[in-house]
Amino acid sequence: MSRKRGTWLAVGGVLLVVAVVGGLLFQPWLLFVDERVDEGDDTSRVVGTASAGLTDTAVPDATGSEKTRVVLASAEFIDAEHGTSGTATIYRRSDGSRFLRLTDLDTSNGPDLHVWITDQRSGGDCDGCFGSWGIYDDGDYVRLGALKGNQGNQSYEIPDDADLAGMQSVVIWCDRFNVAFGTADIT
């Protein structure tokens, strides 16, 4: 084998390894594959909106065996690193439990996406300037789990011990690249 051919084979081998590792890390095919989820909504009846927002601890009265819930906060998603739309609503049920409901969510698919409630304001730290979408893991946050699908309707239970005082936004967060795909202002 000639030296020139050996060099080209070595360069080709390195490029192949870089392409495979890059593909596994970035998973670019996810940008072209949507995961639609349409979970049914909670069966409890909405009876109002809590006057104290996220810090409201009042439990809605259940009438007989009927379960009820109140809205603690609700907001539309805005774009971050990726176009994102839909609504994030936090509820408290008559049994005292809380959950987040995402309705009509539409965002890009991506690797390692999660749903968080954070103490960072929606919209980034400088109204969308470069690097403003990576702040959501800088303060306090509540992890609700992996995003079930990048499109559709889905619910996430909020842990009983989660303190929502001071929380400002719901975030679709990419853990792999430390960046928000979209945020919703729940203050």
Considering the domain architecture, whether residues 114 and 177 belong to the same structural domain is answered as yes
Domain match, 108 and 146 both: yes
Q: Stretch 82-105: mean pLDDT, rounded?
A: 96
State the pLDDT at residue 132: 74
Q: List CB contacts of 122: < 8 A, sequence separation 6 or more.
A: 75, 78, 168, 169, 183, 184, 185, 186
Whether residues 63 and 86 fall in one domain: yes
Q: Percent of the chain scored above 90 by pLDDT?
A: 60
Question: Which residue range is the domain that position 10 belongs to?
Answer: 1-32
The closest alpha carbon to 115, from 41, 70, 72, 175, belongs to 175
- Count other Cβ atoms within 10 Å, centred on residue 31: 12
Q: Residue 77 in contact with residue 139, Cβ under 8 Å?
A: no
Q: What is the pLDDT of residue 157?
A: 98
132 and 53 together in one domain: yes
Do 25 and 46 belong to one domain? no
Say whether both 95 and 176 belong to one domain: yes
Mean pLDDT, rounded, for 133-150: 94
pLDDT bracket for residue 110 (50, 70, 90): confident
Q: Are 21 and 73 members of one domain?
A: no
Q: Is the pLDDT of residue 26 over 90?
A: no
Q: Do 6 and 43 belong together in one domain?
A: no
* Domain count within the chain: 2
User: Residue 13 is inside which H or E element, if any?
Assistant: helix 3-26
Tokens of 100: 């987040």
181/134 Cα distance (integer angstroms): 10
